[in-house]
Amino acid sequence: MTDLVRQEVATAAHTIVVKVGTRVLTGADGLLNRQRVETLAEELHALMETGRKVVLVTSGAVGAGMGQLKLTKRPANLAQLQAVAAVGQSHLVEAYDRGLRPHGRHAAQLLLTAHDLDDRTAYLNVRNTIRALFEFGALPIINENDTVSVDELQTTFGDNDRLAAMVTNLIRAPLLVLLSDVDGLYDGDPADRGSKLISTVKRLDESVIKLARAPIAGVSKGGMASKLEAARIATTAGENVIIANGRTPGVLAQIAAGDVVGTLFLAQGQALRSFKRWIGFTARPRGVLLLDDGAREAVEKKGKSLLAAGIVDATGAFKQGDIVSLADAAGCEFARGLTNYPLDDVLRIKGLKTDAIAGVLGRCPYHEVIHRDNMALTREAL
């Protein structure tokens, strides 16, 4: 079954980011199902044959490593977990390559850390590499570099769902497909027979987010909550998202045909420029600016720059040119931007009118603390 909205989304999707979760690629024992990986590779090739550019963000390295090392339980020790991922990553990509090779295509591995997308130059280099791989007809296969990413150093993306959303923004892909082990977002517990699949989400607000359930303990780090956060990031930037069951045969072909499959999250507003996507959804903020209600309204609803007069407080360790979060009085972030002033100066000029800045700092190099051109809303204005 198709509908006009799905057909429009499919037709506009000249570039698609596909993210596949661990539970799709592994069996009940948590080990990698190589046949399933190769089948997915076949489907990805078929999608590329339609003329679309495709990027795959894949989980499964730990499951693959467990199989190679004959482990029956996921290690709890960080070093061992990273070692298992290191063993499994090559086998995971090889399985994809085996499915692509008969069609003359190649699997191209890109292992990323948050720092690679946090730095603007590295961010652009990753994008250029992906574009070059498109020219060669190869399939870029992206995963977090688990062997060097650790939570303690704050260098992880959190999960591959968020990474997939960041890659979607990186290459401005009109469609992000999140393949899970469920059919999509339900209005209740998916295990409850009375729960119904939600076909389309026009606005991803708090009522939708509350439908997410905590992830089941096991080999997966994701869950519906992380998928909804990925959908929020991508749709706020102006792209569409579909959550669907990756174990359904031919699911990617169905999506490409505009069939009603899974849950479609519609883009919110116009697509953001690449620079604002990096500011709002990729680079990590170095501090927080707390704004009064008037400043929030001016920034969020009137499209104004941020002036010192609207700043109530500032925290962090940021310098001029760093990205900072803009938060309301309750501490809820609603935007991010490049600051024209370092933390010490912001603390001295907060609450002041622009014409008073020079009297405090001895100079007034910028009228705005953050110019509108260097700012991006991170949540839809209410």
> What pLDDT is recorded for position 381?
59
Residue 265: helix, strand or coil by DSSP?
A: strand
Tell me the domains of the chain and their CATH numbers.
4-276 (3.40.1160.10), 285-377 (2.30.130.10)
- Counting DSSP H helices and E strands in the chain, the numbers are 15, 13
Ramachandran bin of 366, using left for φ above 0, alpha for ψ from -120 to 50, beta for the remaining angles:
beta
Ramachandran bin of 60, using left for φ above 0, alpha for ψ from -120 to 50, beta for the remaining angles:
left
How far is it, in rounded angstroms, from Cα 321 to Cα 278?
A: 14
Stretches where the chain sits below pLDDT 50 are: 152-155, 214-221
Residues 6+ apart with CB under 8 A from 319: 286, 342, 343
| Closest alpha carbon to 164 in 71, 81, 233 | 233
Going along 281-372, which residue ranges are E strands? Answer: 287-291, 311-316, 323-327, 333-338
Global confidence as pTM:
0.89
Q: 349 and 357 in contact (C-beta within 8 Å)?
A: yes
